[in-house]
Structure 1
Amino acid sequence: MTSSNAEFPLLDVRGSSRRRGEQIGAAFADRIARTVSIYQAYFARPEAEIFAVADRYRTGIAAFDGRLCDEIEGIAFGADVDPRWIYALNARSELLSALSAGECTAVHYTGTPHVGQNWDWAEPLEALVVLIRSEDEQGRRFLTMTEPGILAKIGLNDAGFAVCLNFLPTPKPTLGLPSHVLLRALLEARSWEDVEDVLARAGVGRSLNLLIAGSDGRGINIEYEGDVARRLKPGVHATTHTNHYLTCIAPVDPELLENSSARLSRIRTLTAPGTPAGLDRLKEVLSDRQHDKHAILAPYADSTGFLGRKGTVCTIAMDLAARRMHIRRGNDPAGPFSAIDVMVTQEAIPA
């Protein structure tokens, strides 16, 4: 049973890349403007400098897949925003790659279609998050939770593939294909061969832990550290990740490392061999509040090195066999989840 009353606004878009972008921009114009304003402060750079970097990312995105530029520029047109701000939003992880900020606890139960994560980020974003269900000219569909103006973040598609992410800070240059553009491209995959092709063409140049899961139970987990990418072996019972590198020793702010390490230790305990698995269990472990200071489901709190309060904006648990996303807004462990299908047309929730 699916719900048409998700906690976040749900928008259905259809058609060409440009047309879908225009629909997103028009529907969420106010939210996009507010998101741009937030990131202007986070980037803490002159607009001319941000625009110069945005132009550089635009060139890279165009070389990777021009349709993604069409969608970005359609969003800008629909929202009446300079396209360079939308390019900058889509490269926000790269523009903030040196920031000391934990973002997410991710879990995939190995060999199952159950994968999900908490998205931990800035408190003001909770009021702005949107859900977009997209259908292209060939009838291919995906559903994503994302920030207004950003092509994709956490999501799944009608072929049974899902993407999750963990922000990983690095001082190395991050001028490759932006993380959120890569996530969006992966949501078009129809097979594991498509996934590998996208990953090969995307190359390196970002700071990200990327978790890809399929309805067949397979998964890929990759840490990107600027100019390098390293794959991790799936966990015996579950693959888990937080916000520090596991394949190398990289400089990490002590507060972030303490927080990320505590969450990783706890999530590994909760998903150790012999513990339950499945969708309900996934929701339970992502709702854990045992640690007063470093909870997996994190209440909003001030954080050194981060602008403003940070905590869990939402929790997402996906059933890839059913092509269904379960999402809960905020960080109340007793809060209800809403279920949204990729394949079923539901009435869009007003923005």
Structure 2
Amino acid sequence: MSGGTRAAHVAYPPALVVRTEGGPLERGRRYGAAAKERVQASLTAYEEVYAKFAGLTWSGARALAESFLPALERFEAVHLAADGPRAGAGYLAEMRGVAEGAGVSFEDVLALNLRTEILFSGKARKIAAARAGGAGRPPAECTSFCDLRGAEPIVGQNWDWIPFSHDTVVVLESVPDRGPRWVSVVEAGLLAKFGMNAAGVTVLTNALVTSRDVGAVGVPYHLMLRALLDSPSVEEGLALLDRVERSSSANYLLVGGGRAVDAETRPGGRAEVHRTPVERGQYLVHANHFHGGDGEFGSVAEDLGPRVMPDSPFRRARGEQTAELMPEPSVAGWHEVLSDHENFPDSLCCHPDAAEHVLEQGSTVASAIFLPERQEMHLALGHPCTVPRVAYAYAEFFAE
């Protein structure tokens, strides 16, 4: 099934699994202390990334992140407090704890968690608009999937980003004082990326870009991911997406409780959410461009995904093509799909292109396949074409 060039084996850092428990501040301190070196490496790397793609110094990035604080405080006080088990989630306190544990400032950690909004600030938006003329661009981010054709759901994704992230990835396992336990594969210092929780909700994601992504103040992308991971059901996760003003475009694929729904979103509120259910007997592959079309939304905006991440349509089409060849859905079958090298190096399994600037290179940093009903994660940290998957069984952890 796999096509394209064979890749050389690369040695990656060992997995760092961090388990935290307690209240928000305590969980953050444990996370920050356990991942201290990786958090500091994230900060060093993003100082360069923000300078290159957003034209911001680190102090400028911190100041931009601080402008989101009133929106974040309202998010916690108004929207999350309405959700019972998720009430008082304390994301700001958790970030303060991460900063204390890692020996950095709160503003540093806040700037990490707003990386999407900072990269698409006003200056970055101008850069993105000029990319068709050959200006530098950050790499594509993800290819996700949901397969309901077999006896049980199989979902997952490749996360592609700048190669420094091989040194900063963390498997974060959380035992919060309120709400369901959860696990997420994250960049050190961020509160969440993709993962699953003890309530049976699995969250996958893809970055999207439109002409409306200008870093407007609202609920940031990675805190939205964290709130979805805290959700007690797919329905409540979708309701949260509807009722908040989101800062960035993104795709959220939510699976659990017999439901699978793909939610494409643009900056704004409920009118900027387009839902696509994945029914039994169907599958869906999503990359970094919109599938729903502008006509599904309440206002006009240009989808910049195919311009900013030109390999995105190919990755989606190739994922669908290889999924069709699968005799029956399985972890092994989807591993082969996510390891595919057609269109190398900008393939489903993405590899750095030495001809590009180091910050413009893309690399598959993590490749995860989830079996939600078994509460298992099959994870390859690094390129899945060469890195064997490790099975993480969470049924006992989630049941405690």
Same fold (TM over 0.5): yes
1:301 has 2:346 as partner: no
2:156 is aligned, of 116, 119, 122, to 116
Aligned to 2:317: 265
Amino acid at match of 2:377: M
Q: Which moved more, 1:108-117 or 1:268-277?
A: 268-277
Change (3 A) 1:291 1:36: same
Measured in 2, the distance between the counterparts of 1:54 and 1:39 equals: 13
Amino acid at match of 1:262: F
1:279 has 2:324 as partner: no
Pairwise CA distance, 1:232: 3.1
Pairwise CA distance, 1:219: 1.5
Amino acid at match of 1:202: V
1:220 has 2:264 as partner: no
Other structure's SS at 2:174 match: strand
1:245 has 2:283 as partner: no
- Give the TM-score, by structure 1 length: 0.88
Change (3 A) 1:160 1:252: closer
Identity of aligned residues (%): 27
1:28 has 2:35 as partner: yes
Write out per-residue CA displacement over residues 292-349 of structure 1, whole angstroms, 9 at most, x where no aligned residue: 3432111222586882421111110011011111100211414211111334459xxx
Which one has a bigger Cα radius of gyration? 2
Cα pair 1:142 1:342 within 8 Å, conserved:
no
Cα pair 1:104 1:119 within 8 Å, conserved:
yes
Cα pair 1:237 1:273 within 8 Å, conserved:
no
Measured in 2, the distance between the counterparts of 1:25 and 1:254 equals: 37
Change (3 A) 1:226 1:275: farther
1:50 has 2:61 as partner: yes
Aligned to 2:273: 229
Aligned to 1:290: 342
- Gapped regions of structure 1 (runs ≥ 5): 1-5, 347-351
Other structure's SS at 1:301 match: coil
1:103 is aligned, of 141, 147, 152, to 141
Q: Which moved more, 1:205-214 or 1:178-187?
A: 205-214
Other structure's SS at 2:313 match: helix
Q: Which moved more, 1:187-196 or 1:270-279?
A: 270-279
Aligned to 1:12: 19
Write out per-residue CA displacement over residues 98-137 of structure 1, whole angstroms, 9 at most, x where no aligned residue: 4543111100013642110000001111021111100012
RMSD: 2.5
Amino acid at match of 1:210: Y
Change (3 A) 1:292 1:52: closer
Aligned to 2:201: 161
1:317 has 2:369 as partner: yes
Cα pair 2:220 2:246 within 8 Å, conserved:
no
Q: Which moved more, 1:160-169 or 1:115-124?
A: 160-169
Q: Which moved more, 1:93-102 or 1:181-190?
A: 93-102
Cα pair 2:31 2:101 within 8 Å, conserved:
yes
Write out per-residue CA displacement over residues 208-240 of structure 1, whole angstroms, 9 at most, x where no aligned residue: 111111152x21212223333322343762111
Pairwise CA distance, 1:42: 0.9
Cα pair 1:244 1:261 within 8 Å, conserved:
yes
Aligned to 1:349: none
Amino acid at match of 1:160: G
Pairwise CA distance, 1:273: 9.1
Aligned to 2:298: none
Change (3 A) 1:234 1:124: same
Other structure's SS at 2:206 match: strand
- Gapped regions of structure 2 (runs ≥ 5): 1-12, 77-87, 129-136, 295-301
Q: How does 1:182-221 map to 2 (within 5 A)?
A: 182-216=224-258, 218-221=259-262
Measured in 1, the distance between the counterparts of 2:384 and 2:347 equals: 12
- Give the TM-score, by structure 2 length: 0.78
Q: Pick the structure with more strand per residue.
A: 1
1:141 has 2:164 as partner: no
Change (3 A) 1:291 1:308: closer
Pairwise CA distance, 1:56: 2.1
Measured in 2, the distance between the counterparts of 1:345 and 1:234 equals: 28
